[in-house]
Amino acid sequence: MLERPAPHAARRILDLARTDRDAAQHALAEQPIDVQLELVCETPVARRAALLDLLPEPERVIPLLPEAELCFTVKAVGLESASWLLAHATPEQLVACLDLDGWEGTLPNQRSLDTWIAALVEAGEEPLLRGLQAVDPELLTLFMKSRVEVMLRTNDDDWQDPIGAETLDGQFFFRTLSEDDDAAAIIALLRTLFEHDYWMYFRLLQSVIWELASETEEWALRWRAGRLEDLGFPPWEEAMNIYRYLPPEQRGELPQDVAPLAPAARWQLPVAIPRMPARLDEGALLFRTIAALENEERRTAFHALVALANKIAVADRLVLSDAESTPRAIEKAARFASAGLELLAREHGLDPIEVLRRAPLERLFRIGANLDPAAAKP
């Protein structure tokens, strides 16, 4: 098992780059790929672009970034400048980015979709095609419906090409609905599909003409909700269960035959597992207790902490594509889970470590939230 990089290693490399860029690149190149990846994830999002620019082979590291971490990084760089990042992103990463940042409530955010599509166009034909083929057809249809009018040529003798419309095949004609729309990006999108995936091009333009927006939105939302749940972001109604009322007589109960720290409880998270706080003696009881666990248990506990933070982010309606949402949710998770941990340890006369080995973090958080519902209120 490889050692984790020392705290602030990325900062030292970035500081070195200011005076000796070659030396900084060499120091980074000496690290294995998984260490380079961890250095990127532990670097504040505002400085990640500078670190990525020092990587000898960014195309090997970028596809390994957890989905939400790529989204945070792209937004920090600015979508108008992030095409080089998207050029190396996997289809799964691109879909997750749109799931996290392409929606506002239960509706697609057209302004955000515009910027993501424009960034993919800027990234080049191959990344654009990869992204378009990965995105839900329904979401792409909704995007196009909001931007263009599509007309299919008829066999009528009196047919005349629509004024101001473009066509790539002489059959489908399209024109932007607003002078503010980026016609060049839309033409690039359709041309890429026309030249490399004609069947998708044909279906997309047909759906823009014939599909009902309301039904398309319903299906797009359904696919997105399923993927977000796979990433640990459940529906809002389900996430709110962490705040459900717990009667006082049940708060001190310790679950039986539960092993929340078993490695089997781990699964792929969309964000990086955070490093332990530098000063554990000043951290929450939960952090101090996790620090005393064995390595595998500690990793599983942090995994559970981030999974709980995801539910808090959904329940509290935090912006999932905001890099600050996860730290805020982790801080809240640790605060109220610590209160629950302290209560159970006191009630049962157990070391907090033993409580953590028997009580899931969600249970501890729910106890803590019930102890101070006003402060825990989403």
Segments of the chain assigned E as strands: 103-104, 107-108, 148-152, 166-167, 172-176
Measure the CA angle with vertex 316, ends 68 and 269; round to 5°: 25
Q: 102 is written with which tokens?
A: 């392409």
pLDDT at 244: 95
pLDDT at 264: 64
Q: Tokens 């091009």 — which residue?
A: 201
Q: What is the mean pLDDT of each run of 10 residues along the chain (378 residues)?
A: 58 85 88 88 87 90 93 91 93 95 91 93 94 96 94 84 89 86 85 96 96 95 94 92 95 83 69 57 79 88 91 95 92 95 95 93 96 93
Tell me the Cα Rg of the chain: 25
pLDDT at 5: 59
d(CA 244, CA 265): 23
C-beta contacts of 228-233 below 8 A and 24+ residues apart: 228/99, 228/100, 228/320, 231/67, 231/68, 231/96, 231/99, 231/269, 231/270, 231/310, 232/267, 232/269, 232/270, 232/306, 232/307, 232/310, 232/311, 233/270, 233/310, 233/311, 233/313, 233/314, 233/320
Q: What is the pTM of this model?
A: 0.85
Domain regions of the chain by residue span: 1-64, 82-230, 236-376
Q: Residue 107 carries which side chain, given as an amino acid letter?
A: L
pLDDT at 346: 95
